[in-house]
Chain A
Amino acid sequence: MSSLDDFRAETRAWLDANCPASMRTPMPEDERVWGGRQPRFKNPDSKLWLERAVAHGWTVPGWPKAYGGGGLNSEELQVLKEEMQRLGCRPPLFSFGIGMLGPVLLKYGSEEQKLTHLPPIARGEIRWCQGYSEPGAGSDLASLATRAEDQGDHWLVNGQKIWTSYANYADWIFCLVRTDTSTKQGGISFLLFDMTSGGVETRPIALISGSSVFCETFLTNVQVPKGNLVGRLHGGWEIAKELLQHERGMISEIGRAIGGVVPDVDVVAKRYLGDADGRIADPVLRDAVARHVMDDRAFGLTLRRAAQESGAGAANGGVSSMFKYFGTEQNKRKFELILKCAGTNALGWQGEGFSDDELTLCRTWLRSKGNSIEGGTSEIQLNVIAKRVLGLPD
Chain B
Amino acid sequence: MNLTLNDEQTILKHGAHEFFKGRMPVKQLRELRDRDDDKGFDPALWREMANLGWAGILIPEEHGGAGFGYKGMGQVMEEAGRTLAASPLASAALIAAPLLLATANEAQKSALLPALAAGEQLIALAHDEAPRHAPTRITSKVDKRGSGFVLNGCKTFVVDGHVAQQLIVVARSSGERDAPAGISLFLVDAKARGVKCTRTRMVDNRNAAQISFDNVELGADAVLGRLDEGYGALEKVLDGARAALAAEMLGTGTEVFERTVAYLKLRRQFGVVIGSFQALKHRAALMFCELELTRSAVLGALDALDSGLKDSAALCSLAKAKACDMLELISAEAVQLHGGIGMTDAEEIGFFLKRARVAQQWLGDASFHRDRYANLLGF
Instruction: Using CB atoms and an 8 Å cutoff, list the residues of chain A in contact with chain B.
Output: 266, 269-270, 274, 278-280, 286-287, 289-291, 293-295, 297-299, 301-302, 304-305, 308-309, 322, 325-326, 379, 381-383, 385-387, 389-394
> Are B378's CB and A390's CB within 8 A?
no
Q: How far is the CA of A332 from the CA of B312 in the complex (A)?
A: 29
B window 248-300: CB within 8 A of A: 261, 264-265, 273, 275-276, 278, 280-282, 284-286, 288-289, 292-297, 299-300
Q: How far is the CA of A295 from the CA of B319 in the complex (A)?
A: 10
> Are B4's CB and A391's CB within 8 A?
no
B322 contacts across to A, CB distance below 8 A: 294, 298
Q: How far is the CA of A299 from the CA of B292 in the complex (A)?
A: 9
B282 contacts across to A, CB distance below 8 A: 379, 382-383, 386
> Are B377's CB and A293's CB within 8 A?
yes
**A269-B379, A305-B3, A382-B281 as given contacts; A325 in contact with B289, CB under 8 Å:** yes
3 smallest CB-CB distances across A and B, nearest first, come from A386-B281, A301-B296, A305-B3
> Are B300's CB and A301's CB within 8 A?
yes
B window 294-337: CB within 8 A of A: 294-297, 299-300, 318, 321-322
| Nearest Cβ on chain A to B292's Cβ, whole angstroms | 6
One of A286, A322, A383, A390 near B292 (C-beta < 8 A): A322
**A290-B370, A391-B265 as given contacts; A278 in contact with B2, CB under 8 Å:** no
**A287-B371, A305-B3, A309-B4 as given contacts; A298 in contact with B265, CB under 8 Å:** no
One of B280, B288, B293 near A295 (C-beta < 8 A): B293
Q: Is residue B19 within 8 Å, beta carbon to beta carbon, of the partner chain? A: no
Instruction: Using CB atoms and an 8 Å cutoff, list the residues of chain B in contact with chain A.
Output: 1-4, 261, 264-265, 273, 275-276, 278, 280-282, 284-286, 288-289, 292-297, 299-300, 318, 321-322, 367, 370-371, 373-374, 377-379
Q: How far is the CA of A387 from the CA of B285 in the complex (A)?
A: 9
**A274-B379, A294-B318 as given contacts; A392 in contact with B284, CB under 8 Å:** yes
Q: How far is the CA of A266 from the CA of B370 in the complex (A)?
A: 13
Q: How far is the CA of A302 from the CA of B297 in the complex (A)?
A: 8
B288 contacts across to A, CB distance below 8 A: 322, 385, 389-390
> Are A382's CB and B373's CB within 8 A?
no
A301 contacts across to B, CB distance below 8 A: 1, 3, 293, 296-297, 299-300
> Are B285's CB and A305's CB within 8 A?
no
Q: Is the interface of B mostly helix, strand, loop or mixed?
A: helix
> Are A390's CB and B261's CB within 8 A?
yes
A294 contacts across to B, CB distance below 8 A: 318, 321-322, 370, 373
> Are B1's CB and A304's CB within 8 A?
yes
One of A266, A326, A391, A394 near B289 (C-beta < 8 A): A326
Q: How far is the CA of A325 from the CA of B299 in the complex (A)?
A: 22
Q: How far is the CA of A286 from the CA of B289 in the complex (A)?
A: 24
> Are B297's CB and A297's CB within 8 A?
yes
> Are B370's CB and A392's CB within 8 A?
no
Q: Is the interface of A mostly helix, strand, loop or mixed?
A: helix
* Selected A-B contacts with CB under 8 Å, 22 pairs: A266-B377, A266-B379, A270-B379, A291-B370, A293-B377, A294-B321, A294-B322, A301-B1, A302-B296, A304-B1, A305-B3, A309-B3, A309-B4, A325-B285, A385-B285, A385-B289, A386-B281, A386-B284, A390-B284, A392-B261, A392-B275, A394-B276
Please name the residue on chain A nearest to B299 by beta carbon: A305
> Are A308's CB and B374's CB within 8 A?
no
Further contacts, 6 of them, CB under 8 A, given A278-B379, A290-B373, A392-B276 = A287-B371, A290-B374, A301-B1, A325-B289, A389-B285, A390-B261
Q: How far is the CA of A293 from the CA of B286 in the complex (A)?
A: 19
One of B278, B293, B370 near A302 (C-beta < 8 A): B293
B292 contacts across to A, CB distance below 8 A: 302, 322
> Are A290's CB and B371's CB within 8 A?
yes
B371 contacts across to A, CB distance below 8 A: 287, 290
B261 contacts across to A, CB distance below 8 A: 390-392
| Nearest Cβ on chain A to B256's Cβ, whole angstroms | 14
**A269-B379, A322-B288 as given contacts; A298 in contact with B275, CB under 8 Å:** no
Please name the residue on chain B nearest to A303 by beta carbon: B296
A390 contacts across to B, CB distance below 8 A: 261, 281, 284-285, 288
> Are B370's CB and A287's CB within 8 A?
yes
**A266-B379, A290-B374, A309-B4 as given contacts; A298 in contact with B281, CB under 8 Å:** no
> Are B285's CB and A287's CB within 8 A?
no
| Nearest Cβ on chain A to B250's Cβ, whole angstroms | 12
Please name the residue on chain B nearest to A304 by beta carbon: B3
> Are A279's CB and B3's CB within 8 A?
no
> Are B367's CB and A297's CB within 8 A?
no
> Are A298's CB and B299's CB within 8 A?
no
A280 contacts across to B, CB distance below 8 A: 374, 379
| Nearest Cβ on chain B to A234's Cβ, whole angstroms | 29
| Nearest Cβ on chain B to A356's Cβ, whole angstroms | 24
